[in-house]
Amino acid sequence: MTEQQNEVIMEELLTVNEVAAVLRMTPKGIYSLVSNKKIPYFKVSNRVRFKRDEIMTWLDSQRVPVQAATLDA
Question: For the domain that residue 52 is a member of, what is the CATH number?
Answer: 1.10.10
Could you tell me the pTM of the whole model?
0.76
Neighbouring C-alpha atoms within 13 Å toward the C-beta of 51? 8
More confident residue, 8 or 22: 22
More confident residue, 49 or 73: 49
Q: Into how many domains does the chain fold? A: 1
Structural domain includes residue 68: no
Residue pLDDT, tens place only, 23-72: 999 999 999 999 999 999 999 899 999 999 999 999 999 998 888 776 66
Tell me if 14 is assigned to some domain.
yes
Give me the helices (H) in 1-73, please: 3-12, 16-23, 27-35, 52-61
In a domain, 33, yes or no: yes
In a domain? residue 52: yes
What pLDDT does residue 10 have? 59
Tell me the residue range of the domain where 35 lies.
Answer: 3-61
> For residue 4, what pLDDT is reported?
58
